[in-house]
Amino acid sequence: MVSDTNMLVTPTARGLYCAAGDFYVDPWRPVERAVITHAHGDHARPGSGAYLCAARGKPVLQTRLGEEAVIEGLPYGEPRDINGVRVSLHPAGHVLGSSQVRIERGGEVWVVSGDYKLDPDPTCEPFEPVRCDTFITESTFGLPIYRWCTPDEIFARVNAWWRTNAEAGRASVLFAYAFGKAQRILASVDASIGPIVVHGAVEALNRGYRECGVALPETRMVTDFEAKQDFAGALVVAAPSSQSSPWMKRFGDYSDAFASGWMAIRGARRRRAVDQGFVLSDHADWPSLLRAIEATGAGRILVTHGHTTPLVQWLNEHGLEAQSMKTEFEGEAGAEEAGA
């Protein structure tokens, strides 16, 4: 466990704290000043006095935290002085507006990664490697069993599944996290196959994406339809919580699928009890984690949520100074290994 008093960022009961600048990064309890990496629930919690996030992420964060939250958007790369500490935000490639937080004081540079991925995603800016001395990285998929196929290969499979179902007169229901994953799917599938229907929770986020200029295909809500057979051939993108809810009944004969990095494991696929599991994650896989860490040039790596222990040991064996750092971040939704 990390407990060095000279650290620029330390884990505290309220969250990752930068004492020199007197601000928190993604705090899990209300604080005065919070820098937010992205708007997922485990990173952006309501109740803090003032929030700073990437300008691209502001509309979505505002929706999530409510109208009354005081949020300031900062363009990527633009430095900001907070009590003598130089802070800037850099794309993390995780979801729209997601950032890594670069913190510099007296020539020493720390970067807090938030959640990130290196794979291309049409809905957000690509991950930017930022040179630093200390890198605080996530490790959601920090084991060599997690290696993603390219998005092109994955979406070719999604399209093929949708097309086969459409030809058989069935709807295709794809469960995906409503913020980020859902929009990435919408922007990546072949919209010429059929109509696209989304759950209300997904559409709420689509609005924020469209406001930011992210091109999404036309989406419809179930309320735009009347009879059951209308859904034949459609792709339905819904939040995982819709699975086995009465909301599903309207789709009649459908095939279902789940899009998540956890789908790499057979046991997780089978427990999900869907027809297809697409291994699609907004987190870095094992090779990406190693690549990202190397690109920072950091000599010290602090590993947060996920498979921290193996990643720490691996990095130590490879000549880096690595330690685990306890946080309350959760990683990818649907993690059944959470708490392990």
Partner 1 sequence: MKQFAALFDAVDSSTSTRAKTAALVAHFTIADARDASWAAWFLTGHRPRQAVPTKRMHTWAAEAAGIPLWLFEESYDAVGDLAETIALVLPDAVREDDTPLHVWIEERLLPLRELGEAEQKARLLQYWSSLRGSERFVFNKLITGAFRVGVSALLVTRAIAQRFDLDPKLVAHRLAGEWSPSVETWQRIVSGEALEIHAAHPYPFFLAHPLEGDPVKLGERADWLSEWKWDGIRAQLIRRGDTTALWSRGDEPIAGQFPEIMADAHKLPECVIDGEILAWKDRRVMPFAALQKRLGRKNPGKKVMADSPVIFLAFDLLEVAGEDWRPRPLDERRAKLADIIHAIPGASAFDTSPQVRAPNWETLAIARAQSRQLGTEGLMLKRRDSPYGVGRTRGDWWKWKVEPYTLDAVLVYAQKGSGKRASLYTDYTFALWKGDELVPFAKAYSGLTDEEIREVDAFIRKNTLERFGPVRTVKPELVFELGFEGMQRSKRHKSGIAVRFPRMLRIRTDKAIREANTLEDALRLAGL
- Site of interaction with partner 1 (CB under 8 A): 143-147, 264-271, 273, 275-277, 307, 309-310, 313-314, 317, 336-340
3-class secondary structure, 214: coil
**CB 290 to partner 1: min, Å:** 11
Minimum CB distance to partner 1 smaller for 110 or for 286: 286
Question: For residue 6, which of 101, 106, 114 has the smallest C-alpha distance?
Answer: 106
Minimum CB distance to partner 1 smaller for 207 or for 270: 270
**CB 222 to partner 1: min, Å:** 25
**CB 276 to partner 1: min, Å:** 7
Question: For residue 238, which of 171, 176, 280 has the smallest C-alpha distance?
Answer: 176
**DSSP secondary structure, 21-90, as one string:** TTEEES-SS--SEEE-S--STTT--S--SEEEEEGGGHHHHHHHH-TTS-EEEE-TT--EEETTEEEEEE
- Count Cα atoms within 13 angstroms, Cβ side, for 62: 16
**CB 313 to partner 1: min, Å:** 7
Minimum CB distance to partner 1 smaller for 24 or for 278: 278
Minimum CB distance to partner 1 smaller for 132 or for 315: 315
Minimum CB distance to partner 1 smaller for 125 or for 328: 328
Minimum CB distance to partner 1 smaller for 115 or for 256: 256
**CB 166 to partner 1: min, Å:** 18
Which residues, other chains included, contact 76 with Cβ-Cβ below 8 Å and sequence gap of 6+?
54, 55, 56, 89, 90, 91, 99, 125, 128
Cα-trace Rg, the chain: 20
Question: For residue 112, which of 281, 298, 282 has the smallest C-alpha distance?
Answer: 298
**CB 233 to partner 1: min, Å:** 20
**CB 264 to partner 1: min, Å:** 7
CA angle 262, 263, 268 (to 5 degrees): 80
Which residues, other chains included, contact 19 with Cβ-Cβ below 8 Å and sequence gap of 6+?
10
The whole-angstrom separation of Cα 156 and Cα 149 is 11
Which tokens go with 116?
């990130």
Minimum CB distance to partner 1 smaller for 7 or for 264: 264
Question: For residue 311, which of 196, 142, 150, 160 has the smallest C-alpha distance?
Answer: 142
